[in-house]
Structure 1
Amino acid sequence: MLSVPHLPKGSFAHSVWLHLVLPRAAVLAALWAMNQSLQLPIWLVYPAAVLDAGFLVWQLWRYHQAAEAHIRDTGAMAPSWGGYLLCLLALLSSATLWWDTVLIANMPPPEEQHSEQMRRAREALYQLTLSADGRTVQFEGEITYGLKARLAQIVENAPDLRVIHLGSPGGHVFEARGAAQVIMGAGLETTVSEACSSACTLLFMAGTRRHLDPQARLGFHGYGLSEWVHLPGYDIDAAQEKDRVFFLAQGMQPGFAARIFDRPPEEMWYPDHAELRAAGVLTSP
């Protein structure tokens, strides 16, 4: 802690320490600490800098008066000029730190990492909402990367979860497979109120019990790659066969399973409820 050395009260040295060194050292220390941890709004920086500049001018004026009196009384100029050098140092240090404060205040907020930007962009493509009683979760939107992880987190934090309501035009098959495993592992029932198509059918078939509302539809079609996706080693037939095996394991009849990928990627097959029930796709009316 800074304190005034044992100097004769009222002496020139005592005045320098009391009115210049200690107050200015405290201000500089506070500025330095603030610049290390805070980003003040620019509207606050300028008034604060003006106030400190006024305080510094007052300090320099007080020192000048004390120095003039010391020279007049003793004729010794060396201590006074040493003090003026100290004033110059205080002025430069204050200006430097305040300039740093202005630069920090004008800095843009740190850029979000690209991975975080992509995560938020993907999450904006769908909604995953847990009911107030924690027994149902609603999924609406596109199946995209990150769905499996978010769904797994909800399942972990909602021990009473029993049902997932689905509404999706489809999306990424790989992510759908992962989400389907989460649904199976949690033993959830699956229901659809409107439409569940393409990769969404993987999520639907993962349910222990599967239900469609009267107006709801399930849509099946063959797999394909978007025109901007180039995966030379990707075997579409093998991918379809892998998911056909999954459907069969979940109770789908072989004759129906043999037809689900017959439509081209740009078309959709919507079997009626009676056909779905006969094929083992629906387990409840």
Structure 2
Amino acid sequence: MGTALNEVDVPKHECAILGRMLEKTAVISHLEVMEIPNLASNLTEDEAFEIKTIAQSLSNWAYIARRLLKLSEAEQITIWNLSCVGKMDIPTSAYIQELVPSAKFRVVDNILFVLGNIEPGFANDLAKQIAYNSNIQTIALGSAGGSVIDALEAGKMIRALKLNTTLTANCYSACPLVFMGGVKRTIWSPYPEIGFHRMYWSNGVAVAPGDDLYFDISNYVSKMGANERFVLASMFSAEPDKMFVPDGNTLCNNNVATWVQRLCFGESY
């Protein structure tokens, strides 16, 4: 079986478990359905493979449950909103208002996990976390976005410190700008999303294409080694209330990601 099924059913299990933890069982019950395989002694090759797949899926369920139990409720809610709401037939009405929408920080070994919105002051908060934990090598991101200015500052700092980036949940709006600050920018299966849309002001009005903010973004992306034309085109392809999500190969081809598990290498990997 190799490693091809290592992440089988991971997104489904993550949302099903979070739904139970956060009292959203009514909207995740369809994710908990699993057919009982044929357990006869004279199995066909396909039936034996099905049992192996189910066994791996159950093992993944247990691993994910242990991982999610270690998180605070605020972190659980952030992942639920980012990775589950509006996906896998979970309605958008299942969104949970976050009492602490700003980024939460957690260090595990040499990885700094960052979950939540990129609020004003994010870059300073990130700098403090890195200063407190001098062994950090990788920033693992999951965010719906936020302040573009802080995202640019954070990305520049990450690059100056020669740190790497990866994703622990979906990364939207301003979050990809932080991600592109990493020297190595990796995406592991089951492939959290990177999403782009037009930048917008605090009043919800889209930033005009000719605004200096896009000039700053273009310069930054170019300096980080990614294709600035692709990034800007991706932003302009979706309105502020929508999201354009490129596939892994496209992210590699434009050096937004330098490595996507089982898919591709970017030019600077």
Equivalent position of 1:246 in the other structure: 220
Please, which of 124, 131, 144 is the counterpart of residue 169 of structure 1?
144
Establish whether residue 227 from structure 1 lines up as the match of residue 203 from structure 2: yes
Q: How does 1:72-87 map onto structure 2 within 5 Å?
A: none
Distance in 2 (alpha carbons) for counterparts of 1:204 and 1:122 = 25
Q: Is the 8 A contact 1:136 1:162 kept in 2?
A: yes
AA at the equivalent of 1:248 = S
CA distance in 2, matches of 1:179, 1:254: 18
* Cα deviation 1:185-230 (Å, max 9, x = unaligned): 221111013311110011000000001122211101111123378x
Letter in 2 for 1:219: G
| Match in the other structure for 1:146 | 121
SS in 2 for 1:244: helix
Q: Distance in 2 between matches of 1:205 and 1:267?
A: 21
Contact 2:214-2:232 within 8 A present in 1 as well? no
C-alpha distance in 1 between matches for 2:138 and 2:106:
12
Change (3 A) 1:187 1:237: same
Provide, for residues 17-42 of structure 1, a one-character-per-residue CA deviation record: whole Å limited to 9, x for no partner.
Answer: xxxxxxxxxxxxxxxxxxxxxxxxxx
Q: Which of the residues 254, 260, 266 maps onto 2:234?
A: 260
CA distance in 1, matches of 2:217, 2:194: 16
Q: Which has the larger radius of gyration?
A: 1
The answer to whether 1:130 aligns with 2:107 is yes
Which stretches of structure 1, 4 residues or more, deviate above 2 A after TM superposition?
121-126, 226-229, 234-237
Distance 2:228 2:204 in 1: 34
The one-letter amino acid of 1:190's match is T
TM-score by length of 2: 0.54
Deviation at 1:256, TM superposition (A): 1.6
Q: SS of the residue aligned with 1:166?
A: strand
The letter of the residue matching 1:202 is L
- The answer to whether the Cα contact below 8 Å between 1:194 and 1:213 also exists between their aligned partners in 2 is no
C-alpha separation in 2, matches of 1:181 and 1:253: 16
Deviation at 1:255, TM superposition (A): 4.3
Residues 187 and 122 of structure 1, relative CA distance in 2, 3 Å threshold: farther
Deviations 1:253-275 (A, max 9, x none): 25423412212222111000011
Q: SS state of the match for residue 280, structure 1? A: coil
Counting aligned pairs with the same residue, the percent is 27
Confirm or deny: 8 A CA contact 2:225 2:255 kept in the other structure.
yes
- In the alignment, is the contact (CA less than 8 A) between 1:122 and 1:145 conserved in 2? no
Report the AA paired with residue 178 of structure 1.
Answer: E
SS in 2 for 1:261: helix
Once residues 235 and 260 of structure 1 are traced to their aligned partners in structure 2, the CA distance between those partners, rounded to angstroms, is: 12
Q: Is the 1:224–1:236 Cα contact (8 Å) retained in structure 2?
A: no
The alpha-carbon deviation at position 250 of structure 1 amounts to 1.3
Gaps of 5+ in 1: 1-120
**Matched residues, number:** 161
Structure 1 residues 275 and 222: CA distance shift in structure 2, 3 A: same
d(CA) in 2 for partners of 1:267 and 1:195?
15
**Residues in 1 aligned to 2:170 and 2:256: alpha-carbon distance in whole angstroms:** 15
Structure 2, unaligned stretches of length 5 or more? 1-97, 261-269
Q: Which residue does 1:269 correspond to in 2?
A: 244
* Equivalent position SS for 1:259: helix
Aligned to 2:264: none
